[in-house]
Chains A and B, each alone.
Chain A
């Protein structure tokens, strides 16, 4: 419970922080021996979900409550008694419920009734006149009858109420049946109502005292009463009214006159009320009110710091206002916070206060070492606890301006300081900071988070510098050098105090770098220290370190394990800006294999003193070159600050040092890139050779700056020329003549030619491009699209060789070929003889595949030579091809050839080509299609192939379109002379064929024509059996000369109405030429 340490620990009492709930005491339940009672209790206490009324249910076994203390408060001694809230939350119930097993038909009713009334009486007595409501619950075994029916029950209930002095509303029946939980919930609601009545009455009781108060002596009581009313309202679950009263209480607190002796009490209590107010504001979803209240609270209390000897108390109090927690809790319950207003700020604020507290505590408690803890302990109280919140244990209840006993006061302060000294401040600050960090991370403030993480990791002096690394990296990336330097300085201090050699060296090197904002004086101290470390001695202590800590650190540095065990220290520098900067460059973009590679290394130091080094090396991706780029020098006094002597490797301040290297590349690297390794091997290594008396430093400076590619191949000395006759035609064998001439001064051997499509073109090109060396073969799809390493033999200087390569393309489009020649030549580089195999000489030839022909295919009806969109089975038609040559050169067409797809057939047998050499030609053949099974609408026709040649025989094919095939039901053939003569009989015979499997009824009409007279049936109905034919004969008698329209035969198929004329009439001649009569 409440202990005297509360005032030191600054924790808010738990009874303040919890949510007040009506307190209901249940009595008379035997939990150990009675299963029914246990079930009732569990139904009350278990599963308290939010939908049930808030209630704090306690099972009380003893039949009594705490003795009420006397209530003399006319001379107020403080604002609020320490135990008050606890008393009303946990001790004095709002409702005391007596459980009693009693059925209405109990045979010994009278005895049991008096037993029950006795119990109620005991409870009443123990409550000693408090307004606590008393209720009785009868546990019954039988289910109750509907109200009003059980006359015995209502009568006995009335007598029981009288016996127990209960109102009828306070008597309940709990039948122990299946629906226990349902009954319990109803009981609960009834208790809740009773409790509300109780708390309402209590609040009124407090309010009624108000008239008795006066402003001069009872100021404390104004606060106390308002707080109490608020608290009762809260117990009553009326938070709106509670908030109102708390706010009143708060304004009363600040009306109190504050002086050193009571300021703590005022502040403590103001903090309590503020906590309540903020909490309720959040609960009412008024976060802005809560925030502004808190701000106001902090502003009001900021100045009330109290006695200067206990200044840390004020900071501690400020740090403990818990607003961050409240805010965070509200967010967890659904409040949304924003980037500029979230709990992180309040945690941060609290953390700062806690830091202030630490600082003040360090300052104020320092002289304590010489003073003993005062005895008797002023913090001890007679009963071990305080009477009022926020009072001094040694002068409780004292409300005057001056402390009653100055000596006692001093002792008390001393005791508090003693206690403060023992507090682990960092342990308080770090959790606050980590809460803040978490919040800032959540609300997208990476930099703020970073900043706080930094504060967090710099809390203790002895935290490993590794903790800094993450934070440092962020600042380094964003190039905030001032901040970086400050953190690094702190880190250096840590590294010194902990004697961490590796960290110490790394940090020093970065602090000496160009980006550090330290002044030269500080830099020279750091460099000297760095040299000391390399000389294996203890560096000078960093400024502003604790004396004692320095002594500890010095011993640590002397320990053998710190430096001696590892005499090579490797420092990864790629993330830092080191004090030796390095730049490397190849002097040319690319080098020929037969000339030396030139490489340059530039070094610059930014430290205040000359820096010596013993060794310099470069790492290449091909390690063979590493040996060429090394420098070592004598290094006798590696750590001197004097200018260097002859032969020493030393970097002078502000001067750029240049190293030139040159080496001959290996032939195997031809065409490859060499690079200077960056990344992992970019290391700055400091080697300390412990075996020798003097230590050598070697700077391996392969900084990560450079990453230059060198591409080298000897200059090609072989001329390559491609002769061809563009554009190429598709399907033809196109000749590429490759002429290779050697311009080398030496004979070249092993010349090989490679031709392939240039990568990066359409991938399908390789399927439609074929390459061959032989013009006599039929180059079909099986040939590849490339040829590798065609041997061309050896070449003497000046020799020339020609090679023909044939390319065939089957798809129109341009292609780019890569033609290259590889050869081997012996060359001299320097004094060495290199066998260079050179693969070079890339010539690109763009080849245009071009279409040679435009072949148009048309279908024409046999009778009228009109283009047809569809063909009819068994109905002969003409297929005509028109060929237009697009070739820029004359080409010879050997023949054209129809390749018909079955069932396509020509009525005349195999169609022979009639096409001979011509620029534009057309080919024509008559075709007929037999009937095909139903349901097939389209029919493939076949292809037309033209065999032609420019130089080499070729053939290209055209695929005909699919055509729509229709079945004709009745076919009509007309038989008539080619021409007529005026006034001479012209017999016209129509033959009607029935192609269907049904009997067809045909109605044939012939229209009249002015140009003809005719004999024959004008309207006739015919019946044609399946597969049979009928003949209609008309004798025409032309009356006019010239091209005349014939009388039109109209057919109507009675079984297929409407579907005839167009199909039939395409076969009928419409006109005839009428000549003059022969005489």
Chain B
């Protein structure tokens, strides 16, 4: 695990940008009386497009995937490391198209003080990443639904449900 001081400036930039995007989107919609759902959907959509592009680049130099599990392993390792500078801590599956990715110290939540106090704000910090994963998988030819769940900051779980046609 990295220590705060060692991080490169550009890594911090991503975090700042991410936070700014969230606050921008939530503020811009506050005037209308629309609900949070619209904001998270917007964030998710942004993540989707970014995921699509990133995965194109990340998979450029690696051998062809054998199967779905191979793809999920890639998401947990290379993809995660490329964005969050660490791998997913735990990947579990029921072998029927449901995968749970557990990150014990999710980078985009580390800036929020640990504990239960800000739990209600956690979902908006996860929407972008959900989209990111969904976009990556979609471009790899797997349609899925990605949801996130926080039980104790900064740990979180992403659940990926494959949608079979």
In their complex, do chains A and B touch, with some C-beta pair under 8 Å? no
Q: Which residues of A contact B (CB under 8 A)?
A: none
